[in-house]
């Protein structure tokens, strides 16, 4: 094990201790709170850490295993944006060299305050699988003449998928507690949630400022197939999202759709 790895492990342990001390510093017992705060400050000085450094340690990013050899289609990008927005994350388009594929690939990356990015990744991949199946079925129906379109089956499928995402986006937002939800506890309010979300956004912005990220290209406006849009919206409405909050820090989401 290298000296750098040892230092990183020591730093991780120190950050955990600092977080624990800062939590104890909120104690109603003045002596206990003062002692905990002094310990936290001493550790910060020892490791030359600021409170922002400690908070930033909660920000992480996860990368989807789903990828494209070319640029991800608009509906795929829109799906990752919708999911990231619902769970107070930021999504990035990550292009990288894949040694196993022998080519450059593109995949979605989610950045958030833990464990939000992991929940967003799960939701994205689960919905991506479901949407891919629905789009494939619609394309087949266009080819067989069940659905008429002035566009190719693939393009009509893309328009179908975009409408599907727009419809599911509002369902995703309804999964997130809005303050009056009992699961948040009696002391939580809508203002509390807004404050937390704003703090998370600020932390994510601080994190992204340290990364090399290129500007995203603006997508061109296109005229969509109305029939495909209607079909996509109707299919999106059939998607039933259930959220179950497991005590112990893990959030479990289940997705289903009626036939």
Tokens of 245: 């909050």
Tokens of 207: 């994190």
pLDDT, one tens digit per residue, over 185-201 is: 444 455 555 566 667 77
Cβ neighbours of residue 174 closer than 8 Å, sequence gap 6 or more: 241
pLDDT at 136 over 70: yes
User: Would you call 92 helix, strand, or coil by DSSP?
Assistant: strand
Please tell me the distance from the alpha carbon of residue 54 to that of residue 47, in angstroms, as a whole number.
11
| Residue the block writes with tokens 């659905």 | 147
Which helix (H) or strand (E) is 96 found in, with range? strand 90-98
Task: In whole angstroms, give the CA distance from residue 130 to residue 92.
Answer: 21
User: In this structure, is the dihedral angle defined by the CA atoms of residues 108, 113, 115 and 120, taken in order, positive or negative?
Assistant: negative
Measured CA to CA, the distance from residue 65 to residue 107 in angstroms comes to: 7
Residue bearing the bigger pLDDT, 151 or 224: 151
Q: What percent of the chain stands above pLDDT 70?
A: 69
Residue 107 has pLDDT above 50, yes or no: yes
pLDDT(242) > 70: no
C-alpha to C-alpha distance for 209 and 81, rounded to whole angstroms: 19
The predicted model gives 46-67 an average pLDDT of 76
Listed range (92-101, 102-111, 143-152, 153-162) with the worst mean pLDDT: 92-101
Q: Please give the Cα distance from 79 to 119 (Å, whole number).
A: 14
Residue with tokens 């929940």: 119
Residue 39, pLDDT above cutoff 90:
no
- Residue keyed to tokens 């309804």: 174
| pLDDT for res 254 | 55
Mind listing the pLDDT tens digit for each residue in 152-186? 999 999 999 999 999 998 888 776 655 444 444 44
Give the side-chain half-sphere CA count within 13 A for 143: 10
Lateral strand order in the sheet of 103-113:
59-68, 103-113, 90-98
**What predicted TM-score, i.e. pTM, was given to this entire model?**
0.67
Rounded to whole angstroms, the Cα distance separating 94 from 14 reads 31
Kindly state the average pLDDT of the residues 79-108.
86
pLDDT score of 249: 37
The band of 244, judged by pLDDT with boundaries at 50, 70 and 90, is: very low
Answer yes or no: is pLDDT of 18 > 70. Answer: yes
pLDDT at 221: 57
pLDDT value of residue 234:
92
> Any idea where the domains of the chain sit in the sequence?
3-56, 60-257
The residue among 198, 185, 72, 191 whose CA lies nearest residue 131 is 72
- List the single range of 50-54, 220-224, 240-244 with lowest mean pLDDT: 240-244
Count the Cβ atoms, other than its own, within 10 Å of residue 188: 17
């Amino acid at each position: 094990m290298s000296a750098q790895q040892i230092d990183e492990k020591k730093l991780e342990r120190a950050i955990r201790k600092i977080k624990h001390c800062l939590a104890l510093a909120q104690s109603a017992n003045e002596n206990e709170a003062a002692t905990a705060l002094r310990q936290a400050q001493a550790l910060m000085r020892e490791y030359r850490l600021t409170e922002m450094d400690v908070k930033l340690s909660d920000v992480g990013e996860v990368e989807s295993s789903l990828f494209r050899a070319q640029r991800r289609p608009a509906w795929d990008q829109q799906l990752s944006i919708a999911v990231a927005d619902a769970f107070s994350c930021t999504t990035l388009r990550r292009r990288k060299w894949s040694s196993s594929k022998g080519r450059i690939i593109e995949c979605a990356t989610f950045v958030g305050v833990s464990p939000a990015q992991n929940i967003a990744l799960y939701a994205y991949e689960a919905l991506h699988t479901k949407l891919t199946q629905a789009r494939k079925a619609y394309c087949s129906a266009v080819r067989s003449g069940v659905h008429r379109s002035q566009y190719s089956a693939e393009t009509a499928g893309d328009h179908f998928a975009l409408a599907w995402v727009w419809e599911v986006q509002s369902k995703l937002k309804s999964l997130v507690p809005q303050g009056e939800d009992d699961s948040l506890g009696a002391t939580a309010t809508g203002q509390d949630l807004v404050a937390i979300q704003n703090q998370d956004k600020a932390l994510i912005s601080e994190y992204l400022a340290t990364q090399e990220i290129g500007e995203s290209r603006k997508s061109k406006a296109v005229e969509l197939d109305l029939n495909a849009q209607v079909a996509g919206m109707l299919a999106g409405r059939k998607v039933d999202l259930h959220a179950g909050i497991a005590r112990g820090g893990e959030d479990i989401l289940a997705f289903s759709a009626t036939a």
